Amino acid sequence: MAGPARGLGKSSDSTVVVLLGTGMPRPDPSASGPATAVVVGKRLFLVDAGSGVERQLAAAGLPINGPEATFITHLHSDHTLGYPDLILTSWVMGRSRPLAVFGPPGLRWMTNHILAGYREDIRVRTDGLEHERAAGLAVSVHEVRPGMVYDSAGVRVTAIAVSHGSWPWSFGYRFDTPGRVVVISGDTRPSAALARAAAGADVLVHEVYAAATLRPESRPGGRDWPRYMHSFHTSDVELGHLAADARPGLLILTHIIRAGASDSTLLAGVRSGGFGGRVVVGHDLGRY
């Protein structure tokens, strides 16, 4: 359940999930770009870097000088618009070690071009009166495949290949920590692999759209949103089926595509899919 605690965990094995951004591509002042923090004791791990990620870290009372590791689910813009922010702002705010980032093929190309695009900013900050250290700007990119991608001091992270429309690579991630097992879906249509990885997990953080309120665009040539969502995303009812199989201790809805739906409509959809366990509709800066 959501708790009032701020900042990093108090004990070395406590694990807290913090929703930094629960939004989607449509700008919403109440829902920042997709990003989730997994806090293990005093260690910060980040999944995705949507718009406003550094401001949301600050709002949550979490470090702004770089997480221990960042995991990118896929390279859709809404999940990576905050990636330049993460690289550059954490450096300006005192990061002195390489930023460790794990994600799909293409991540290294993206990273190199971000750094190239900001070369004048970097030059002024390093050669000018700010005296920033160029070594602190380094990014250590790991392009991953399904399987264990991180294993350090009791925290293991496994990448799960999921299906997200026409994207060749999209991942969910499972965190095995001393305190809890946390699974984060990334963007995906219903995934049997993800359901297996989430079986018995303490927390499943999963994307969702509201099936009951979704309609095609009415304008001539408008987008067929139901068809698109069926290929790229998971409906509330489909998520109910998946969670009923996986039986997580807590299901958290995120990357919420409401199409006008209320929290109660989303929860009713999940229940109609057969999940009777604990479920909450995620909101920015919620802690669980």
Residue 236 among the catalytic residues: no
d(CA 154, CA 14): 12
Sign of CA dihedral 146, 181, 273, 232: negative
Please, are residues 40 and 9 in contact by the beta-carbon 8 Å criterion? yes
Q: Are 108 and 141 in contact (CB under 8 A)?
A: yes
The SS3 of residue 193 is helix
User: Following CA atoms 87, 26, 169, 154 in sequence, which dihedral angle do they give, to the nearest 10 degrees?
Assistant: 50
Q: Which two tokens stand for residue 60?
A: 């949550």
**Which listed residue (13, 28, 48, 78) is catalytic?**
78
Pairing relationship of beta strands 203-209 and 147-152 according to DSSP bridges: unpaired
- Beta strands, E only, 78-192: 99-103, 139-143, 147-152, 155-161, 171-176, 181-184
Quote the CA–CA distance of 198 and 202 in Å, as a whole number.
Answer: 8
> Active-site residue numbers?
78
